[in-house]
Amino acid sequence: MSKKILVVDDEPKIVEIVRAYLEKDGFKVVTANDGRVALDVFRRDTPDLVVLDLMLPEVSGLDVCRRICKDSSTPVIMLTARDETTDKVVGLELGADDYVTKPFDPKELVSRVKAVLRRSEGHRTGATILKVAGLEIEVDKRRVSCQGETIELTPLEFNLLRVMAEQPGRVFSRMQLLDKVQGDAYEGYDRTIDSHIKNLRKKIELDPNQPHYILTIYGVGYKLEGE
């Protein structure tokens, strides 16, 4: 069954180019040219992934991203004309899964879409359920509970937690985590992983400023405490 992609950009030419390349690869495409319409289309058509420009009229791309990631686990790829670290980090902190800076190669964007969809569908492991301290991760169902309470995670947050839970106590560098959850399609810098760790801590830690589960190993990276 073809995956449905919502493409949101206020430049009609970009929308049509992205639509053409995605449809050529077998995707179904729905579109919007401003943030307000994008939210309406998202609720109506329930796409499998959203390609979202940050610079939008009516409702900003960041606000659209915030609402989508708050209410669903649908992956989001941001488009931005600005090559500024702040824009990308804010979007990642809101729950976006990847970003592409304009101008971009449509073929590369399609590759990013495929890669994010693969990650959102999960990677099979030998264990169906991973249990680490008070965390329980149902790999096949992509469900996480902490101390018996269900936790809603974005696809990237889930994959990040799963990777660490498969080897509790192991220290992962930022680049190792990026490579495992983002793969070769990702062009970024290793500090973007800090945004996702920050989001994870907000969701699973009693006090994110004094984490019990995800610990920072200064000068190295992060680990999921196994005890």
Q: Between 155-166 and 106-120, two packed helices, what is the crossing angle to 10 degrees?
A: 60
144 and 196 together in one domain: yes
Q: What is the mean pLDDT of residues 67-89?
A: 78
Sheet of 129-132, strand order: 129-132, 135-138, 143-146, 149-151
Domain holding 218, by residue range, is 129-224
State whether 207 and 153 are in the same domain: yes
- Does 157 lie in the same domain as 54? no
Task: Indicate if 108 and 83 belong to the same structural domain.
Answer: yes
Residues 108 and 158 in one domain: no
Task: Return the DSSP state at 138.
Answer: E
Predicted local confidence at residue 8, as pLDDT: 97
Contact present, 139 and 125 (Cβ < 8 Å): yes
- Whether residue 114 is found in the same domain as residue 155: no
> Are 114 and 136 found together in one domain?
no
**Is residue 211 classed exposed, middle or buried when 0-12, 13-18 and 19+ CB atoms within 10 A define those classes?**
middle
Q: Could you tell me if 112 and 12 lie in one domain? A: yes
Amino acid at 136: E
Q: How many domains does the chain have?
A: 2
Residues 167 and 215 in one domain: yes
User: What CATH number is attached to the domain comprising 89?
Assistant: 3.40.50.2300
Per-residue pLDDT band for 185 (boundaries 50, 70, 90) equals very low
CA atoms of 47 and 19, how far apart (whole Å): 14
pLDDT band (50, 70, 90) for residue 177? confident
Structure tokens at 115: 């890669």
AA letter at 171: V
Q: Tell me how far apart the alpha carbons of residues 176 and 180 are, in angstroms, rounded to a whole number.
A: 6
Beta-carbon contacts of 177 under 8 Å, excluding residues fewer than 6 positions away, are 160, 163, 164, 193, 221, 222
Residues 61 and 140 in one domain: no
pLDDT-derived band at 121 (thresholds 50, 70, 90) equals low
- More confident site: 170 or 160: 160
Confidence tier at 194 by pLDDT (50, 70, 90):
confident
